[in-house]
Structure 1
C-alpha cells in the first residue's frame, strides 16, 4: 500500500527531477524546474486577484494555463473550477453563478460568446493568452504551501440524472491521494510519457496530469481532431500511457497504427463506461505488449475499482477490485453486506470520498451518507446508486444504474438538461430525453417531443435551436415527434413506455 499521508496539492511539483521533462507544449517543453517556477508565478498572480477560498474558473483547451491551474490555484489558497471547453454559454453561466467564481480565464472566442448576464457581477474575465504576461509583469511568486490537506481545492461540475450540473467538492487530500493511488496501481515511473487526450474538466482527465507528475513522468496534452492524430502523437512522443473512454477506443481501433506508434505503449486505461468483450479483444490484439486497465469511477469518489491486467483476458467484463485508499462494499436493500453473486448497491468508503455537492445540502444528503457499520473506514461514504455483484473470487461486476443518466461518448449527460433546453425553445410542449444503447457511443441521445403551437414549423426549427443552446455532445441524434405522450396511472409521462418503444 502506498503512503496514505496526504499533502497540499501544489507540492506535486516538488517530486520530479528539476531537469526532467514534465509538460510538452506546442511551444516547447517545461522541465520540473520550469513547472515549479511557472506554478509559483501563476499562483502569485492569482493570489493578487482573489481572496483565499475564492473560486477561479478556466474555460479553455489544453495548454500551459489549464494544465498548471489545478496546482497554482491550490497554492494560492483558491478553489479551481475547470469548465469543459465544449460547453456553451448557458451551461457556463450556470457554473459561474453556482460556484460564485470571481475570475474566468478562457480563450478569447469563448469569452466573446458569453451573453449579457452570463458572467455574474464581480467576475473578472481574462484572455488566457494574457495571463502569464500579467503574472510575469507582477512578478509575485509563491513557494510551496502548507495548506490544510482537507481544505477545498477544486469544484468539478458533473451532470446528474435530473437538473443542472452539480459541483463536486474535492479537497487537496482527495486529489493528492487520487494521484498516489493511480500512480501506484498503474505502476507509473519517471520515464513514463502520458498522452493526455481527455478533457481536463473531468476527474479522469485531471488524473492524467496529477498521477503522472506524482510519479515524476512527463505529460503531453493533446486536443485531437481525428483518431489518427492520437496515433501520430504516440509515435512522435514515445507515449507509454494512453487513457480513453470506450467510444474513443472504438475509433482508435479503426485508425491506422504504425509499428512505431505502438512500440512504446506500456499501458492502456479505460473508464467512463464499460468495455465490451469484443473491444477488449480488439485492443489486446492491436496492442499485445501493452497492459490493459479497465476501471470504474464516479466523480463523487474519483475512482473506485480497477481490473488487474492479468485478469482481462479471462474476466473481460469485470470491474475488478478496489483501488488503493478505496473500500468498496456491496450493500443489499435491507442494509446487509451482500455475499457472493448477490446484487446490491456499490458503496465507496475511504479518503477518496469527496466533500459533497457545492451549496446543495439536499443532494449531498442523498448521495453522501454515513458509511455502513461494517466499513473499516467509517465516516462518510458515497452511495453510488449503481447495482453490482461480487463473485466468489472477489471480482466486481456492474449490473445497472438506478438513475436515468445518459452516457454518450464518455460524457455523463443529464436528461433534464436536454429536456429543459427543448422546452425553453417554445417549440414543444413536452420533452423526454433517453439514451439508446449504441456500440460506438455507449448511448445515442434520443429526444421524444410533443409539438407546441408551431406544429410543422417547430420540427424544422427545433434542431437549430438546440444547436445554439447545447454543446455538441448533448445534441440529440434522433428527435421523435409525437401527437401525444403515453401516461402512467399517476398521469405523468410514462418514460418506461417511451424507452421500450424506442429501444432505450
Structure 2
C-alpha cells in the first residue's frame, strides 16, 4: 500500500517482487480467466517463470509477446523478470513487417502469440532461432508449471525489458529498461497518484507502451487490483467502469475525446477517483469537459517519453487554473530546461527538456549511434548527474514553476497517443508501387492530436492501390487521413525532399 505521508522508497528491487506488494488475500488481477489474489498472482508468476526457465533459454534471452490483454500478457512482465529473461512486448496492432523487424532486431529466442496473429507471419519473418509458442489451450498448459520459481534475486540494474518505440527516422528502436527503471517508475506513479489498496484500475491501454504497462505495475506497487480490457467502443469502457466499480482510468487524448462524447450515467461517472492523460496534450476545452463529466475524479495531466519514463505531472488541484500545463517532475525524476548554449533556461525562456535520474533508460538496444544522440551526459547543474535523456522537446517554465509543453523539435507524428515515424509510413507507401516518393507529415487534428497527411509523387489513379497496400502493411493509427498527389516534390540545396518547407506550406 502507498504511504502518502512519507516520501516514496527510492530503493530499487527486482521487478517480480511487485507480486508480493499487496495483502495476500487481496485481489490483484481480475480478467476473463477469473480472479487472482496477490498470493495467486505470486504463484502464477512463479509457475510461468518456471515454465519459461524450463525451455532452456539462456539468462538474458529475449522473450517477445504479441498478445491481446490476456492472463498470459498480464503475467509476462513479472514472470520474465523472475526467470531473468528480457521481455519484449509487441503492440498487438502492429502488422507482420513491423513484428518481423522487432523479432530480428531484438534477437528474440521465443515468440508467444495467438494463432491468428502468428498466422499472418510469412516465411522469414520469424528468425530461424526464434521458437514460436501459440497461446491456445495446449500452449497455456505447457506454461502451467506447478513448482514455481521463488522471488528472484536479480540485480536491479539488469535489463528487464525492451520496449520498441518509433524514431524520427527509420524503423522502431528498442528502449532498454532495467528492473530499477520499472520498479521505481511503478513506485513513483503509485505515490503521486495516491493509489491505495482499495483502488481498482481499468487497464485499457496496450501493455506494449510504458504508460500502458505501468497500469499493471503501479497498481500492484500499491497493493491494488487491475482489470485488463480490450475495448471496441467507449460504451465498453463505461460498462466495465460500472461493473467492476473502477476507480482509476488512464487514457490518451483520442480516447478521452471518445469518452467525453459518450453517454455516462451519473452514478458510473461518479465511481472514478482519478483519471490520467499522457501521450499528447489535452485541449483546454476537453479538460473543462472532463472536469464537468467526472466531478469526483482528480484529473492528472502528465508528460513523458519511453526513454525517460513519466517525466512530469500536474497536481490535480491546479488543473482548473493551469489546464495547459504539464506540471513538474515526478518522484525520482529530474527535469531541466536547457538553452542551446547549455545554460539553464530562465523563467519564461524556452529550453530543451532534459531528463536525469534513475528513471532514465539504459539506451537503445544494439544501437550505439542513436543512443549517443539521445543519451548524453547531464548538464553540469544537474543534481543527479550521470547520463541524461535530451528529448528534443521544447518547454517553458512559468512564474509558478510549472512547465508548459511548446513543441517537438524532431519530425515525429504524435497521433492517437502513438509516436509514428514518418519514414516508416513513407517506406510503406513506396513499397506499394503506387508512389514514386512520399512524405508523411503531422497536421493538427482536434481528435487525434495530429493526423497523418501523406504527400506523394505519382499517378493519382493509383490511390486505391496505395490505400489498399497501406491498410495491409500498417496498423490503423498509421493510416493517412488524406493523400495529396503531386507531379514533383520540393527539394533543398542537397537535392533532398524539403520536408520542413512542405510541412510549413501545408500547415500554414
**Do Structure 1 and Structure 2 share a fold, with TM-score over 0.5?**
yes
Structure 2 counterparts to residues 172-191 of structure 1, below 5 A = 172-191=179-198
Query: Distance in 1 between the 2:326 and 2:460 partners?
Result: 47
Structure 2 counterparts to residues 92-241 of structure 1, below 5 A = 92-129=99-136, 130-136=138-144, 138-241=145-248
**Structure 1 match to 2:501:** 497
Deviations 1:76-110 (A, max 9, x none): 00000000000000000000000000111011100
1:15–1:216 contact (8 Å) kept in structure 2: yes
Consecutive unaligned residues of structure 2, counting only runs of 5 or more, are 1-6
SS of alignment partner, residue 297 of structure 1 = strand
Residue 497 of structure 1, CA deviation: 2.9
Query: Distance in 2 between the 1:183 and 1:402 partners?
Result: 31
Residue 334 of structure 1, CA deviation: 0.4
Consecutive unaligned residues of structure 1, counting only runs of 5 or more, are none
**Structure 2 match to 1:56:** 63
1:42–1:132 contact (8 Å) kept in structure 2: no
**Structure 2 match to 1:249:** 256
**Structure 2 match to 1:13:** 19
SS of alignment partner, residue 369 of structure 1 = strand
**Structure 2 match to 1:27:** 33
Query: Distance in 2 between the 1:354 and 1:75 partners?
Result: 20
Query: Distance in 2 between the 1:457 and 1:85 partners?
Result: 33
Query: Distance in 2 between the 1:179 and 1:172 partners?
Result: 11
2:48–2:148 contact (8 Å) kept in structure 1: yes
2:460–2:485 contact (8 Å) kept in structure 1: no
User: Does residue 467 of structure 2 align to residue 463 of structure 1?
Assistant: yes
Residue 263 of structure 1, CA deviation: 2.2
**Structure 2 match to 1:385:** 392
Structure 2 counterparts to residues 72-87 of structure 1, below 5 A = 72-87=79-94
Query: Distance in 1 between the 2:38 and 2:413 partners?
Result: 39
Deviations 1:190-245 (A, max 9, x none): 00000000000000001100000000000000110001111111000000000000
Query: Distance in 2 between the 1:270 and 1:489 partners?
Result: 42
Query: Distance in 2 between the 1:492 and 1:359 partners?
Result: 28
Query: Distance in 2 between the 1:166 and 1:113 partners?
Result: 22
Q: Given the alignment, which residue of 343, 349, 354 partners 1:347?
A: 354
2:163–2:209 contact (8 Å) kept in structure 1: yes
Residue 368 of structure 1, CA deviation: 0.4
Structure 2 counterparts to residues 273-422 of structure 1, below 5 A = 273-422=280-429
Question: Number of aligned pairs?
Answer: 500
Residue 140 of structure 1, CA deviation: 4.3
SS of alignment partner, residue 300 of structure 1 = coil
Query: Distance in 2 between the 1:413 and 1:36 partners?
Result: 36
Query: Distance in 2 between the 1:27 and 1:46 partners?
Result: 20
Query: Distance in 1 between the 2:86 and 2:259 partners?
Result: 35
2:434–2:462 contact (8 Å) kept in structure 1: yes
**Structure 1 match to 2:477:** 473
Query: Distance in 2 between the 1:503 and 1:338 partners?
Result: 29
Query: Distance in 2 between the 1:264 and 1:461 partners?
Result: 48
2:66–2:114 contact (8 Å) kept in structure 1: yes
1:158–1:299 contact (8 Å) kept in structure 2: yes
Residue 456 of structure 1, CA deviation: 4.8
Query: Distance in 2 between the 1:456 and 1:10 partners?
Result: 54
Deviations 1:169-195 (A, max 9, x none): 000000000000000000000000000
293-302 or 458-467: bigger deviation: 458-467
Query: Distance in 2 between the 1:212 and 1:182 partners?
Result: 9
SS of alignment partner, residue 54 of structure 2 = helix
Query: Distance in 2 between the 1:412 and 1:262 partners?
Result: 30
**Structure 1 match to 2:3:** none
- So what's the TM-score if we normalise by structure 1? 0.98
SS of alignment partner, residue 304 of structure 1 = strand
**Structure 2 match to 1:4:** 10
1:45–1:140 contact (8 Å) kept in structure 2: no
2:270–2:297 contact (8 Å) kept in structure 1: no
RMSD: 1.0
436-445 or 124-133: bigger deviation: 124-133
